[in-house]
Amino acid sequence: MSAPIEFRITEEKGRRYAMIPLERFTELMDRAGAADALTLPHEVAARHLAEDVSLLRAWREYLNLTQADLAAQMGVSQAQIAQWERPGARPRHATYKKLAAALGLHVTQLTLEDRR
């Protein structure tokens, strides 16, 4: 039988979260075979949750890219990147795939917020 999982329930901005120790989360993700696809650096997660910044913007800034840098890499305008980074923006999945490729990420690292 599996050992019980130590956890804590928190609430932020009206949403409830179950928090588990990072080591246990990593172990569970490794066992599931999807650790790289779902891992977010603390800095990215913190900006997204505490400052209500989109995952796209949090990742871009974490990777030290400007909107202009990302736009040039993708062949779109800086204004288009800004539009995709707006809180509440919901680009198409195909767009997320292109953004993830440009940033060197797995698409789920950008689309976790769409599962709320």
- Banded pLDDT at 8 (limits 50, 70, 90): confident
| Co-location of 50 and 88 in the same domain | yes
Q: Are residues 75 and 55 both part of a single domain?
A: yes
- 25 and 70 share a domain? no
23 and 52 together in one domain? no
Q: Which domain does 15 fall in, by range?
A: 1-35
The predicted-structure confidence for 23-66, as pLDDT tens digits, reads as follows 877 776 666 655 455 678 889 988 988 898 999 999 999 999 99
The tally of domains found in the chain comes to 2
For residue 49, count other CB atoms closer than 10 A to its CB.
16
- Catalogue the long-range contacts made by 33-40 (C-beta closer than 8 Å, 24 or more residues apart): 36/106, 37/106, 37/108, 37/109, 38/108, 38/109, 38/112, 39/109, 40/109, 40/112
pLDDT above 70 for 3: no
